[in-house]
């Protein structure tokens, strides 16, 4: 029996390692040439401390209180030199990946499909070389190099983790570098280089209702999360509110309908900003967060979209004093133009 451990480093890089039955995370990491921070490897110094975000494990009782206090353990902090997983786990490592002599992964692939879904969005499918199956956490993103340039752009996976065909939902930004490549030059058979996975926006273990708020192509990571939920099953209510500017920017509703069949606890609502629209729900996603989807605050909220939409939702939560049990968000911040100040 072997478990998959996602090590999330401080710089956003994620490395996946296999951990054998009875093996500590620290030993498994070193076996796979990931030098996690350590000193005593005996539960004494606390140097190997991290935070387990997800998964089951045993820490035994051979470590010292000075290395890890009971309060820290209750908060989910772990000593990787003592932690023996009994399921797949996600562990936050509080240092940069480079300090652990590991690097972000690089994969190559071939464009299998590139298609305009609306004037505003493009779907891209990439077959990874040799049928490689890319491990990532649903919600994470990867860098895709823009062919013929030295630039890359970040894109959230819309496909499920571990598939050899990865898909993306990409906004067609006027005069955008990647947008121009995808709409004018990219064809099936083109080669693409990808670097990742990365990011701390990913689906946590589900223990209460979930509310997903998507703006435009910010739907992408939720499609990946829903794929995983549909595959694994989920007892808790999962509600998605998906907002766009215009009627014909609504895409992938067939996939959302299919998720309703595959995942009985899943519901969704679409919202259109355009005042001239005949859509039954108009305005912004925040106008449609009814009490029943907020579960009196006992809800995990995930939010993803372009920066103005994310900022508007954050302000709304702040103004209304909405404090869900947990709140995770991803902003699709544009790349800085070369030479632009930080």
Ligand X SMILES: Cc1cc2nc3c(=O)[nH]c(=O)nc-3n(C[C@H](O)[C@H](O)[C@H](O)COP(=O)(O)OP(=O)(O)OC[C@H]3O[C@@H](n4cnc5c(N)ncnc54)[C@H](O)[C@@H]3O)c2cc1C
- Taking CB under 6 A as the rule, does residue 334 contact ligand X? yes
Is the CB of 125 or the CB of 170 nearer to ligand X? Answer: 170
Q: Which of 201, 293, 279 is nearest to 245 (CA)?
A: 279
Q: What is the DSSP letter of 157?
A: B
* Stretch of residues binding ligand X (CB under 6 A), selected from 29-37, 47-55, 59-67, 163-171: 163-171
- Taking CB under 6 A as the rule, does residue 147 contact ligand X? no
Is the CB of 57 or the CB of 332 nearer to ligand X? Answer: 332
The contact mask relative to ligand X for 265-284 (x = CB under 6 A, - = no) is --------------------
126 binds, among ligand FES, ligand X, none (CB under 5 to 8 A by kind): none
Neighbour tally for 5: CB within 10 Å:
27
170 binds, among ligand X, ligand FES, none (CB under 5 to 8 A by kind): ligand X
Per the structure block, which two tokens stand in for 211?
Answer: 């509310």
- Taking CB under 6 A as the rule, does residue 116 contact ligand X? no
- Taking CB under 6 A as the rule, does residue 217 contact ligand X? yes
Q: Which of 230, 276, 283 is nearest to 257 (CA)?
A: 230
Is the CB of 106 or the CB of 149 nearer to ligand X? Answer: 149
**Residue 41, by phi and psi: left (phi above 0), alpha (psi -120 to 50) or beta?**
left
* Stretch of residues binding ligand X (CB under 6 A), selected from 1-9, 53-61, 111-119, 169-177: 169-177
Strands 152-156 and 106-116: unpaired
Is the CB of 64 or the CB of 163 nearer to ligand X? Answer: 163
| Nearby residues of 307 by Cβ (< 8 Å), 6 or more positions away | 331, 332, 333
* Stretch of residues binding ligand X (CB under 6 A), selected from 152-160, 229-237, 246-254, 293-301: 152-160
Q: Contacting ligand X (CB under 6 A), which of 40, 177, 206, 322?
A: 177
Distance, in Å, from the CA atom of 274 to the CA atom of 9, rounded to the nearest integer, reads: 41
220 binds, among ligand X, ligand FES, none (CB under 5 to 8 A by kind): ligand X
| Nearby residues of 288 by Cβ (< 8 Å), 6 or more positions away | 241, 269, 271, 281
How far does CA 308 lie from the centroid of its chain?
A: 20
Query: What stretches of the chain adopt beta strand conformation (E)?
Result: 2-9, 14-20, 49-54, 57-58, 77-79, 84-85, 89-93, 106-116, 121-128, 141-145, 152-156, 165-171, 191-198, 210-215, 238-244, 266-272, 300-305, 326-331
Q: Contacting ligand FES (CB under 6 A), which of 5, 13, 25, 67?
A: 67
Distance, in Å, from the CA atom of 125 to the CA atom of 137, rounded to the nearest integer, reads: 18
Scan residues 69-98 and list those touching ligand FES (CB under 6 A): 79, 81
- Taking CB under 6 A as the rule, does residue 164 contact ligand FES? no
As measured in angstroms, the least distance from the Cβ of 168 to ligand X is 6
Is the CB of 3 or the CB of 332 nearer to ligand X? Answer: 332
Strands 152-156 and 141-145: antiparallel
Q: Contacting ligand X (CB under 6 A), which of 36, 68, 220, 251?
A: 220
Is the CB of 48 or the CB of 169 nearer to ligand FES? Answer: 48
Strands 210-215 and 152-156: unpaired
Scan residues 37-66 and list those touching ligand FES (CB under 6 A): 38-41, 43-48
In 3-state terms the chain splits into helix, strand, coil percentages (rounded to 5) of 25, 35, 45
Cis omega (within 30 of 0) on the bond before 197?
yes
Scan residues 280-319 and list those touching ligand FES (CB under 6 A): none
- Taking CB under 6 A as the rule, does residue 173 contact ligand X? yes
Q: Give the footprint of ligand X on this chain (CB under 6 A).
A: 141, 153-156, 168-171, 173, 175-179, 199, 217, 220, 306, 330, 332-335
């Amino acid at each position: 029996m072997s478990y998959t451990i996602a090590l999330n480093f401080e710089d956003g890089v994620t490395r996946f390692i296999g951990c054998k039955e009875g093996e500590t995370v620290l030993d498994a990491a070193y076996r796979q040439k990931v030098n996690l921070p350590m000193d005593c490897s005996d539960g004494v110094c606390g140097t190997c401390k991290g935070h387990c975000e997800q998964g089951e494990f045993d820490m035994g009782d051979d470590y010292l209180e000075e290395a890890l206090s009971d309060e820290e353990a209750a908060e989910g902090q772990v000593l990787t030199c003592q932690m023996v997983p009994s399921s797949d786990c996600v562990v936050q490592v509080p240092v940069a990946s480079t300090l652990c002599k590991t690097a972000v992964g690089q994969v190559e692939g071939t464009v299998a499909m590139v298609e305009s879904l609306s004037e505003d969005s493009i779907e891209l499918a990439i077959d990874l070389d040799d049928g490689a199956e890319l491990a990532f956490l649903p919600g994470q993103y990867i860098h895709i190099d823009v062919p013929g340039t030295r630039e890359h752009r970040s894109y959230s996976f819309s496909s499920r983790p571990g598939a050899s065909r990865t898909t993306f939902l990409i906004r067609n930004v006027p005069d955008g570098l990647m947008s121009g490549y995808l709409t004018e030059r990219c064809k099936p058979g083109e080669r693409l280089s990808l670097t990742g996975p990365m990011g701390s926006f990913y689906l946590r273990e589900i223990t209460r209702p979930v509310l997903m708020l998507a703006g435009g192509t910010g739907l992408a990571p939720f499609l990946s999360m829903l794929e995983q939920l549909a595959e694994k099953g989920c007892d808790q209510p999962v509600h998605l509110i998906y907002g766009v500017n215009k009627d014909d920017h609504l895409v992938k509703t067939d996939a959302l309908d299919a998720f309703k069949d595959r995942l009985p606890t899943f519901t969704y609502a679409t919202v259109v900003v355009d005042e001239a629209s005949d859509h039954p729900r108009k305005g912004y996603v925040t106008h449609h967060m009814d009490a029943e989807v907020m579960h009196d605050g006992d809800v995990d909220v995930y939010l993803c979209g372009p920066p103005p939409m994310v900022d508007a939702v954050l302000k709304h939560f702040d103004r209304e004093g909405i404090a869900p049990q947990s709140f995770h968000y991803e902003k699709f911040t544009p790349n800085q133009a070369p030479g632009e100040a930080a």
